[in-house]
Amino acid sequence: MEPTHVRLTIPDSVDPTLLMGPADSLLRRIEGAFDAMVTVRGNQVSVIGPTDVVDQVVSVFSRLIRCVEKGDVPTTADVDLLIGQVSHGASEAADLSDDILLTYRGRAIRPKTAGQKRYIDSIRDNTITFGIGPAGTGKTYLAMAMAVSALKRRDVGRIVLARPVVEAGESLGYLPGTLQEKLDPYVRPLYDALFDMTDMEKGNALIEQGVIEIAPLAFMRGRTMNDAFVILDEAQNTTPDQMKMFLTRLGFGSKFVVTGDLTQRDLPGRNGLESARAVLGGVDDVSFVDLDRNDIVRHSLVARIVDAYDRAQGAHAAGGAAGRETGRHGE
């Protein structure tokens, strides 16, 4: 079969050196990921190879061009994300260009996948949004960006960040220190996301003033959250009663976002995230957004790790079912 040959023209508004990266590092990344020959001369990108591979390479370059046209400077991490998306057939959202927030370093935060775009739109359009998906899909980070953005626009007067205090196979209860020092390991991921969007000095000042509050879920009982953007993280480690308690804290002028990963549970039995979906699935102004491996924006290895664990769990479940069937026949 004759190889397919496609020429892609880089628009005059796009600097080719930004597409190729320093010392052609981005171009080399793309060449190494696909079984195709890629050559660049001036504003022409020539791709030769099997038709399906050529289509994927052209898709990567087309998305990179749109990225540069929006004013971004692509990195190797961005290219790895695009390569992963087109390799797994992930469709591109119609428009991912809207900025959620400019960080204090001047970097734009915006959705990078179609699933993240749905998640952001859901947070904008609904009072309560559940973001459910594996590690690395941006559930907490994007929710935090939306919260900080709402605070800067004065849509809300405060941000409340909550997590259930559940150890991931380890016990921290007997460590020395104050209550806050004991809680810090549990809420550290929320601090990390916050300080990526505001400088540490300003972030700590907002925490000291009570404008941003980080607290364990148990401390929410009996409160009413008015004029607040509230994020409940790691919701897979809540009980159904805790989830009901949290959701009924909703007050006027507030927005709730609940995030969780059902594959990383540290509590036995049914959890609050599953029960909420069963109970609230048809309730107006409550939205459930499922993110998957195509929405993972961390190192490309994270997606492969998630896939490997999914396959192992599927094989384990199939083996268990086969064993039960054999047992029935032997009775």
How far apart (Å, rounded) are the C-alpha atoms in residues 79 and 63? Answer: 9
Measured between its terminal Cα atoms, the distance across the chain in Å is 57
Q: CA 221 to CA 246: how far, in whole Å?
A: 7
Tell me what pLDDT residue 325 has.
58
Quote the Cα angle for 211-212-214, to 5°.
Answer: 145
Angle at 109 between CA 78 and CA 237, to 5 degrees: 95
- Full pLDDT tens readout for the chain, 331 residues: 678 899 989 988 888 888 898 988 999 989 988 988 999 988 899 999 999 899 989 988 988 888 888 777 888 878 887 887 787 665 554 455 566 776 666 677 888 888 888 999 999 999 999 999 998 898 999 999 999 999 989 999 999 999 887 654 444 455 556 656 666 666 777 788 888 888 888 888 998 999 999 888 888 888 999 999 999 999 999 999 999 999 999 999 999 999 999 888 877 788 999 999 999 988 999 999 999 887 887 666 766 787 788 788 777 766 665 555 555 555 5
Nearest to 257, CA basis, from 212, 282, 283, 287: 287
Q: What pLDDT was estimated at residue 93? A: 45
- Structure pTM? 0.72
With beta carbons less than 8 A apart as the criterion, state whether 169 and 266 touch: yes
Looking up tokens 């148990």 gives 218
Amino acid of residue 82: L
pLDDT at residue number 151: 92
What the chain holds in terms of domains, given with CATH numbers, is 4-87 (3.30.1370.10), 101-298 (3.40.50.300)
